[in-house]
Structure 1
Amino acid sequence: MIDAEAFRAALSQWPTGVGVVTTVAGDGWHGMTASSVCSVSLDPPLVLVCLAEQIYTHRLVAESGVFAISFLAKDQTRIGEIFAGRVAGDRFAGRTWEPRQTGAPVLADAVGWLDCRVVHAYPGGDHTIFVGAVQAAGTPRRTAPLLFHSRAWGQLADPLPAEMTVADTGLAAVLQRRLQPNGTAPARVTRHDAHRLLAALRSAGVRTRLDIESLALSGIPPAVTDGNWSVVLHDPAQVARLAGARDGVVEVHAAAERPDLVTREIVNESRRRGLATVARISDAFAPARTSAVLDAVERLAGLGCTEIALDEGSAPASPLHVRNLLQEAVARARPTPLRLRLHEAYGLGLVNALTALKSGVHRFDVTLGGIDGGLCAEDLLFLATQLAITSPVDRAGLVSAATELERLWGAVLPGRTYRVAAGPALITADDEKGTP
């Protein structure tokens, strides 16, 4: 006969979700935490729950013939603890519980719930297997679930993606600020230099944001570009200026509080012309804006945007907040992919990028050399190689462009990994002394 402890230890390695099974009796609502829940049939819709014979909820379900299951979210551990008897207190206090068709209550902000009538009850050792016919179901929230594994509750740990892509959204603007009229002395960057650097980025496989007014679309006609470009538009009428452009991306800034006014018109007009669209939400990681940002993500996904970009604001985002926001934002956006624009502040840029990679995001907006304070393109790709994440970007071409940018800039760039990749010739005596 197998040892009971060995049996529990083996089963503990099978991860499950965590639910609260509730029922109704003459003196009110009752419930308990359970992980022994399983679907049985789609037609008719049947589920089962296994309850120990000695517990009070078992007797009440057997007598009432009804039960409901509320599946808990990653941030509802305390509810699970209360209904498991680990924490004292009124089990139904402090949260919104709503009776459904059978009278059994469900958690209003659960990730999902089922309302059931018992149609079969089978003996299962010291448990009873109650099979319920599902009367109603709901999915109030879209976020990561609470999991039970190895006798502990935790969150879903997403695997690293197989591939990562980047787009440069900062270099063109910085170069434009450095341009001298007609390229006259003492120009630090000429228009020819700027066009050459931007073309090098696109050749390396990096989608590059261009300036519709000055840098790129005036100097590089859209009809003959290689297609790996984007522009920011603020008015639907501007889309007409891209006539003849191919394989480009239109970016539009959407107000988190009401993102679907001008955004909808630009998205529709761009789609009509065969152009992809990225809707951007600014200051997306400010904790006070979490609800507005999540609602905006859901609405933008409904507009048919190709991608939704979340931009970090002036306050540095913390890895914990990035993780918590993305777990819900990714779920709300599906199937529309998210992309991030992060800052390299206080050493948190790559940490936040890694957090995002573990949260289901693998598209990033960067800047060559990190010269605008954004995440450095070369550094992020270096991180990807260390994590065995592939990228369609030619990193050697990117490093070459960064080396040329440093020459034009006349100073060491914030990003440093390209200097290692480019070889010791770039390591100067000033670098050895720590001169910035």
Structure 2
Amino acid sequence: MRAVEPVAAGERGLPSSLSPDDFKALFRGHPAGVAVITADAGSGPVALTATSVSSVSAEPPLLIFSISTLSSAADVLSRAETVIVHLLDAHDLEVAKLGATSGIDRFADKTQWSRLVTGEPVYCDVRAWVRCAVVNRMDAGTSMVIAAHALQSHIARDVSPGAAGDALVHHNRAWHRLGEHSRVDD
């Protein structure tokens, strides 16, 4: 397989790209699951809310997510060897909002989080979390894509196959709960 070199818009006769506003408008209508990523590279814990978490492979268990390089957590996430990916449901809305709010200490309330024996910060009582080893990072525009290998997980509220659960999604700049009421197929 031949590697494909990135091509800037306008090169080789390609049309110019969408504007940032047009691109954001496109994805506002595409709902995404909500996660909070935490890490500590030795200078204190960081957290951020992400809607870009995706499973990549079951063998080996790999996932990816992206973060803005402008995020206050970007420096730590660019150096951390491990991360915790918290996969949230609607019961975890306050944790999602905490990770999405800038300019605050996301770890001020010591009753909301603890550290694993391996040292990573983990929020308590969330639907599920997975401890991951970072295996690769890639610059992508104004973002960084991080690939991570799942090492350990905890599921506090499982969802049976085919059940609606209480999934938390972000759609059109708002939080939404998926449930039986939002199911459209039989």
TM-score by length of 1: 0.35
Whether contact under 8 Å (2:92, 2:127) holds in the other structure is no
Are 2:106 and 1:91 aligned?
yes
Unaligned runs of 5+ in 2: 1-16, 159-164
Give the structure 2 partner of residue 159 of structure 1: 183
User: 1:89, 1:56 → 2: CA distance?
Assistant: 11
Change beyond 3 A, Cα 1:139–1:23: same
How many percent of aligned residue pairs carry the same amino acid?
27
Give the superposition deviation at 1:23.
Answer: 0.2
Give the structure 2 partner of residue 346 of structure 1: none
Let me know the Cα RMSD of the aligned residues: 2.1
Whether contact under 8 Å (1:20, 1:72) holds in the other structure is yes
Unaligned runs of 5+ in 1: 163-436
Query: Higher helix share goes to which structure?
Result: 1
Give the superposition deviation at 1:128.
Answer: 1.2
User: 1:95, 1:3 → 2: CA distance?
Assistant: 43
After TM superposition, the structure 1 = structure 2 runs for residues 181-260 of structure 1, keeping only pairs within 5 Å, are none
After TM superposition, the structure 1 = structure 2 runs for residues 36-435 of structure 1, keeping only pairs within 5 Å, are 36-85=52-101, 89-92=104-107, 93=109, 95-100=111-116, 102-142=118-158, 143-156=165-178, 157-159=181-183, 162=186
Secondary structure of the residue that 2:73 maps to in structure 1? helix
Secondary structure of the residue that 2:76 maps to in structure 1? helix
Whether contact under 8 Å (1:108, 1:140) holds in the other structure is no
**Deviation string, structure 1 residues 237-270 (Cα, Å, up to 9, x no partner):** xxxxxxxxxxxxxxxxxxxxxxxxxxxxxxxxxx
Secondary structure of the residue that 1:28 maps to in structure 2? coil
- Asked which structure has the greater RCO (Cα within 8 Å, sep 6+), the reply is 2
Equivalenced residues, count: 161
Secondary structure of the residue that 2:90 maps to in structure 1? coil
Give the structure 1 partner of residue 34 of structure 2: 18
TM-score by length of 2: 0.77
User: 1:126, 1:89 → 2: CA distance?
Assistant: 23
Change beyond 3 A, Cα 1:158–1:95: farther
Equivalent position to 1:31, from 47, 64, 82: 47
Amino acid at match of 2:150: V
Amino acid at match of 2:90: K
Whether contact under 8 Å (1:22, 1:105) holds in the other structure is yes
Amino acid at match of 2:172: S
Give the superposition deviation at 1:134.
Answer: 0.9
